Amino acid sequence: MSEVNRELILIGIDNAAFPPLLEVLEEREIIKAGQLRLLEEEESEVDPQVFANRNVPVESLEKFRFAPEQVVVLLKGGAAAQAALTAAESAGAWVIDAADNTRGDETVTLVHPMLNAAGLAEAERRVLALPSAGAAMVAEALLPLREQIQAVEVVLNQPVSALGKSAVDAMAAQTAKMFNGQEADIDPSIGHRLAFNHLSSAEKPLASGHNLSELALIHDLRRLLGEQVAMDATINTASVFHGQVANLRVALKDEAGVEKIAALLRNGARLKMTERPSAQEAVGGEETLVGRLRQSLLNPKQFNFCAASDNLRRDLAMNCAQVVHLLLKNH
């Protein structure tokens, strides 16, 4: 099948990752404007979107007919997205789930373009899932040490954009009200103010004390790095719009010097060593920043370090665009 006849279908125009995904697709010339189709639910009124200097109309999701030559990216969840996934898979299209529609479904291949892209050829179904932005960043930061890792504890400080565009809009409105001396409205689904706050959890805890996103992060990391690595995770939500930071506590199988661990991280693909990684420094970049490497004072086999990245552009948009590219070229 000729690549020029392939189409990329994006569902979820109001997703926070949509603008950076369009940017990456255009910058890397992965598709032409004539190959791009944009879909949204019928009741939504969305203006045409500009791609490669052309206006691309937003079509009705309910009326769209999927076909085998298409690659479909789900940027949103919900009943309409689930129905689209079923229809697209039945039509023979490839589906990339970037919105947790297939969470918990072990028949769906979890794909990180740098860690396990070869798995595309062995996929049980033509449905793929992207790891969460947090899992994608942490997996890349740990990859150079994978063979030596015994256990990992992740403390992820996620931005408000990890909760979706509605949360970004809510924090912006809360910030504006507070600057004007007004009381900020609180989203009852979160239960806390997002503006000028740092949440220990943006979700209600489960019986174990973890929340669902923490368990999903652990699950994604195990699928990417191997079941032999013991994992635990905590996810906090910081009052910033974009950019994530993770503090990683890594227990190694054997003792190693700081210089050896630093050299492994320095040579890691798409990693950049810096003295004090920050979310602000990472936003807009295409690398995961790692630094603050130090040996634990509690255990000579444990090292602590920090990783930071752009959760939308780096860990969702770029990874999604790379998987799209592989599917259009080779599958």
Per-residue confidence (pLDDT) for residue 43, from 0 to 100: 59
Banded pLDDT at 94 (limits 50, 70, 90):
very high
Question: Could you give the CA distance from residue 169 to residue 103 in angstroms, rounded to a whole number?
Answer: 25
Residues 141 and 273 in one domain: yes
In the chain, what percentage of residues exceed pLDDT 90?
A: 84
pLDDT at position 247 over 60: yes
Banded pLDDT at 3 (limits 50, 70, 90):
low
Residues 13 and 147 in one domain: no
Residues 275 and 145 in one domain: yes
Banded pLDDT at 331 (limits 50, 70, 90):
confident
Residues 163 and 280 in one domain: yes
Per-residue confidence (pLDDT) for residue 189, from 0 to 100: 84
**If you average pLDDT over residues 157-167, what whole number do you get?**
93
**If you average pLDDT over residues 77-105, what whole number do you get?**
94
- Report helix angle 18-27 to 318-330, nearest 10: 50
pLDDT at position 111 over 70: yes
Residues 122 and 219 in one domain: no
pTM of this prediction?
Answer: 0.92
CATH number of the domain bearing residue 236: 3.30.360.10
Residue 154: which domain range?
Answer: 135-311
Residues 289 and 325 in one domain: no
Banded pLDDT at 253 (limits 50, 70, 90):
very high
Residues 139 and 127 in one domain: no
The full DSSP string for 254-319 is: S---HHHHHHHHHTSTTEEE-SS--HHHHTT-SSEEEEEEEE-SS-TTEEEEEEEE-TTIIIIIHH
Query: Hey, what are 26's tokens?
Result: 């255009």
pLDDT at position 44 over 70: no
Per-residue confidence (pLDDT) for residue 304, from 0 to 100: 97
**If you average pLDDT over residues 194-199, what whole number do you get?**
95
Number of domains comprising the chain: 2
Residues 142 and 213 in one domain: yes
Ramachandran class of 158: left when φ > 0, alpha when ψ lies in -120 to 50, beta otherwise: beta
**If you average pLDDT over residues 297-326, what whole number do you get?**
96
What average pLDDT does the chain have?
93
pLDDT at position 54 over 60: yes
Residues 154 and 273 in one domain: yes
pLDDT at position 5 over 60: yes
CATH number of the domain bearing residue 25: 3.40.50.720
Residues 291 and 167 in one domain: yes
By the 10 Å C-beta count (0-12 exposed, 13-18 middle, 19+ buried), 278 is classed as middle
Residues 201 and 114 in one domain: no
SS3 assignment, position 59? strand
Residues 307 and 183 in one domain: yes
Question: Phi and psi (nearest 5°) for 157?
Answer: -100, 100
**If you average pLDDT over residues 125-148, what whole number do you get?**
95
pLDDT at position 2 over 90: no
